[in-house]
Amino acid sequence: MGRKRTKSGKIRLAEVAELAGVSPITASRFFRNPEALSVGKRTRVESAARELGYVPNLAARALASQRTEVIGVVIPSLTNNVFSDVLRGIYDASEGGRYSIQLANTRYSILQEEKLLRLFLAQKPAGLIVTGIDQTAESRSMLEAAECPIVQIMELGSNPVDMMIGFSHYEAGRAAIAHLLTQGFRRIGFLGARMDPRVQRRFEGYQAAMKEADLFDPRLIVTTPVATSATLGGTLFADLLTQAPDIEAVFCVNDDLALGVLFECQRRHIAVPERMAIVGFNDLEFMACAVPALTSVRTNRYEMGRNAATMLIEAIEGRRPNEAVVDLGFAVMERQSSLGPRHARTRRPGKIGRRTNKMVALPSPTN
């Protein structure tokens, strides 16, 4: 049988097979399809592998089988909370299974995305999870030519490359505005940062809702390509106030901006929601415990990641899901920050929105 061990001292499949008294190929089968073995051999191989502490060499397996057990995940940002939730779902779903996750970060560049996809695809991944539906034409055709299952996440669209899971950012944006309109607000501002495709579609939802209500006014809008932050929320809000001092409510494309707006209101002694309603997006954890509690559009990010990975793995293993496109929906979490005059009036008849609310007097900042 020649050498017993590889020079590195590693246990190979051949050693396991020898100890179990079977051929290497039978031992190999044990790891890929245990049911194909007779019970006797199965237990013999199993205990031999355990005894020797055998760990399969993935490189050899990949080379021989001409496929890897790698799931590629292409996301635009590692910083954004949104994606860390999605990622957590993906990792949770893949945990314990045979597939390993390979992450790539496009930093919101579709050219970078194209490069990364080319790299991934060249390694024949078992499956791919990509963010959104706005790939370059080249990326799109690479994806369509790919032999592995693919899940597009975060958004919905009419022609999925393969599978798709997400929700309509357009509808979510509309719903946020519909809620504010129901609450009786008319001059509703829009605060947008980074303006990636998904933010863009929320923006379109805002525009549609405002136009339908005949309330659209470009002065109500402040956007920037700059990356989002709470501080930026305060800055943009200040700009918005300058542009449209009569504003009654703000829809922020994410919760960081909303938090910044809340703080800016506190700084300027603008009562929320009496003089300014605030609605955020994503419903991060802190929104519910802010003072006042901040309304936000809840999205199912963890579930999105989890389901995407689950669907993908099922598809890899030949069990394609019934529905190729899954809408995870969203929910407007109505909280105090968007309580409108209409509602307020019901509860406290009289001079609502007219009270002179005093905020705590604050010493000037120290740094």
Partner DNA sequence: GTCGCCTTTGGTAGCGCTGTCAATCTTCCT
Partner DNA sequence: AGGAAGATTGACAGCGCTACCAAAGGCGAC
Q: In the complex, which residues of this chain contact DNA (CB under 7 A)?
A: 3, 6, 8, 10, 12-14, 22-26, 28-29, 31-32, 36-38, 40-41, 54, 56-57, 60-61, 63-66
Quote the least distance from Cβ 18 to DNA, whole Å.
Answer: 11
Of 40, 289, 319, 354, the one binding a copy of itself (CB under 8 A) is: 289
User: Residue 9 binds which entry of DNA, a copy of itself, none, with Cβ cut-offs from 5 to 8 Å by kind?
Assistant: none
**What are the residues whose beta carbons fall under 8 Å from the beta carbon of 88, sequence distance 6 or more?**
302, 305
Does the footprint of a copy of itself cover residue 60 (CB under 8 A)?
yes
- What are the CA-CA distances from residue 107 to residues 76, 102, 122, 157, 362 (Å)? 5, 16, 21, 22, 39
Q: Quick one: tokens of 24?
A: 């290497």
User: Which range touches a copy of itself (CB under 8 A), out of 22-30, 126-134, 208-216, 337-345?
Assistant: 337-345
Residue with tokens 């506190």: 266
When the beta carbons of 5 and 267 are compared against a copy of itself, the nearer one is 267
User: Which range touches a copy of itself (CB under 8 A), out of 151-159, 163-171, 259-267, 310-318?
Assistant: 259-267
- DSSP states of 298-348: EE-HHHHHHHHHHHHHHHHTT---S-SEEE--EEEE--GGG--HHHHHHHS
When the beta carbons of 17 and 308 are compared against DNA, the nearer one is 17
**Rounded Cα gap, residues 65 and 241, in angstroms:** 62
**What are the residues whose beta carbons fall under 8 Å from the beta carbon of 215, sequence distance 6 or more?**
181, 186, 187, 188
Does the footprint of a copy of itself cover residue 339 (CB under 8 A)?
yes
User: Residue 322 binds which entry of DNA, a copy of itself, none, with Cβ cut-offs from 5 to 8 Å by kind?
Assistant: none
**What are the residues whose beta carbons fall under 8 Å from the beta carbon of 280, sequence distance 6 or more?**
252, 254, 255, 257, 258, 259, 287, 294, 295, 296, 297
Q: CA 273, 79, 329 angle in degrees (round to 5)? A: 60
CB 127 within 8 A of CB 148: yes
When the beta carbons of 87 and 156 are compared against a copy of itself, the nearer one is 87
Q: Where are the beta strands (DSSP E) in 94-149?
A: 100-105, 127-131
Quote the least distance from Cβ 26 to a copy of itself, whole Å.
Answer: 22
Binders of a copy of itself among residues 219 to 248 (CB under 8 A) are: 229-231, 233-234
Quote the least distance from Cβ 156 to a copy of itself, whole Å.
Answer: 25
When the beta carbons of 272 and 308 are compared against a copy of itself, the nearer one is 272
Binders of a copy of itself among residues 92 to 111 (CB under 8 A) are: 100-103, 105
**Rounded Cα gap, residues 260 and 230, in angstroms:** 4
**Rounded Cα gap, residues 234 and 263, in angstroms:** 7
Quote the least distance from Cβ 284 to a copy of itself, whole Å.
Answer: 9
Binders of a copy of itself among residues 15 to 54 (CB under 8 A) are: none
User: Which range touches a copy of itself (CB under 8 A), out of 27-35, 37-45, 188-196, 343-351?
Assistant: 343-351
